[in-house]
Amino acid sequence: MAMVKKKKGLYVLLIGIFIFSFGFYEVGSNHFAYAATTFPKGSSIGGIDVGEKTEDEAVSLLLSAIERWKNEGDFIVQTANDSVVIPYKNIKFDVKASVKEMTNQIDKPWYAFFTKSEPQQLPLTVSVDVTDELLDKFGNSIDVKKTVQLIENTISYLGQHKITAVSSNQNDAEATIAETSWEIPSDYLFMDELLEELNRISIPANSSFSYLESIADKVSYYSEAEGNFVVSMLYALLLQTNVEFVERHSQGIIPSYSEPGIEAKVSKNEKKDFIVYNSGPNEIRVTAEQTGNVLKMGLRSKKPENTYRYSIENSLDVDYRTINRYNKDLQPGHRQVLQPGQKGKRVEVYRITVSSTGEKIDKELISKDFYLPTPEILLLAPAVEETGDGTETGENAGTGEASTTTEDGTVPTDQKTNTTTGPGNTMNATDSNDANHAATTDDSIYEQPNVVK
């Protein structure tokens, strides 16, 4: 009988939980069903800031921006012999689809409900109706498909009102605008797929390029170290073009294959991407070829009016600190380097624009990079002095303070030695009295919880 009552009570409890959960779901659904979506701060559509706006507010804002853009003048395509006006009736903006795409981009799965949505930058959805009349005006020397793509890319960010048509023989006018060769580290074993994807990369004018989307996400096996090598090389090349760097992260260390400031990092797990925007007027193609342990990478495009180069300036070395660690079991005068010190560095990277006549016409700061120094860690035996009465004292290095030894010749466990690690900085290191640690220099023994290696 008691068992029956227990089962009955259990059923009642389960039914109560079900009803409560269902009611909570209904209330929650009713509560959020009509909540307006607000886009994350920093989000933009077509270059228009829609951060902290609802969908309706974003639509209204974009429509107003499009009208202002149209009122600035006609949209003109310059051909070799004429200027062709593209009527605005032939240009279709789908604002609602643009806003819907933004909503889809920031939409999160149920298990990520409490995570913060990242800001997004999307183009406007635009299409151009190419009539027979426009085709006649373009003529046979124009690559219509590429020209229309250039028009749509430009308008999708409400860009300039005048572009140059893409010639049908543009490929014949291509040239190598930047080229470099780097030695591949010996332990990089999965470069083949990366190179295959690199050779497929082209960045049309007025378009963005994402390394994670275009390369990393398309290979069957991705090594972050090899990805950093490739993207660093690509970064060095794109510094010699007029692209805009939307997102670039430093590795925080100076890799062996490059120089300070000329490196980049991409990470799927940390969501760190490398994104550039080609503001035009020409498409940029990537070429990559491996010969032995050397990777040769280049950029091909129609020869630009201006040329570009990068400059590393204001390089400053940052001294490292020395951390002294003491062990009473070592012979007097013992000194061992547990970790060599390495200087840090600060650099600034600039892009220089040079005209066709060789005149420097612009200098743009691209990045400021800082590489932390690596502290030097020394293992020392405490200095010992013999006093006039025959007793021994241990002198604390760098402080002039003395610590008296116990009867068995050891330093008390609560006796600390102040160790100077740099100008104005002091760290504490304690002696080890564990018999198992005697006569060893294993770095893990001397690691202190407040010392960062």
Same domain, 245 and 138: no
Of 136, 168, 200, which residue constitutes the final position of a domain?
A: 168
Distance, in Å, from the CA atom of 114 to the CA atom of 342, rounded to the nearest integer, reads 42
Separation of CA 143 from chain center: 36
Question: Does residue 13 register a pLDDT over 90?
Answer: no
* Residue 383 confidence class, pLDDT cut points 50, 70, 90: confident
Helices and strands (H, E) in the chain, number of each type? 9, 26
Would residue 256 count as lying in a domain? yes
Domain extent, residue 288, equals 169-303
How does residue 257 score in pLDDT terms, banded at 50, 70 and 90? very high
User: How does 250-268 read in b/e, with b if 16+ C-beta sit within 10 Å?
Assistant: bbeebbebbebbbbbbbee
Q: What is the pLDDT of residues 267-316, one digit of tens each?
A: 999 999 999 999 878 899 999 999 989 999 999 998 888 899 999 999 99
The CA distance from 7 to 11, in Å, is 6
pLDDT of residue 249: 96
Which has the higher per-residue pLDDT, 369 or 434? Answer: 369
- How far is residue 394 from each of residues 304, 380, 445, measured CA to CA in Å? 72, 13, 21
Instruction: Look up the pTM and report it.
Output: 0.52
Grade residue 261 by pLDDT with cuts at 50, 70 and 90: very high
25 — pLDDT class (breaks 50, 70, 90): very low
Position 166 scores a pLDDT of: 84
Q: Which of 199, 235, 232 is nearest to 218 (CA)?
A: 199
Asked if pLDDT for residue 65 goes beyond 90, the answer is yes
Between CA 53 and CA 56 the distance in angstroms is 8
450 lies in some domain: no
Residue 425 has pLDDT above 70, yes or no: no
- The residue out of 168, 195, 228 marking a domain boundary is 168
Counting residues of the chain whose pLDDT is more than 70, the rounded percentage is: 74
Distance CA 54, CA 103 (A): 10
Q: Are residues 49 and 112 in the same domain?
A: yes
Name the residue type at position 125: T
How is the beta sheet containing 48-49 ordered, strand by strand?
A: 48-49, 44-45, 121-122
Q: Per-residue pLDDT averaged across 41-49, rounded?
A: 89
Q: In terms of domains, do 173 and 224 share one?
A: yes
Q: Does the pLDDT value for residue 202 go beyond 70?
A: yes
Domain count, the chain: 3
Q: Mark which of 168, 202, 231 sits at the end of a domain.
A: 168
Average pLDDT, the chain: 78
pLDDT digits (tens, 9 = 90+) for 128-173: 998 888 888 887 778 888 888 888 999 999 988 888 888 776 545 6
Instruction: Read off the pLDDT of each residue in 368-377 and give the average, rounded to a whole number.
Output: 95
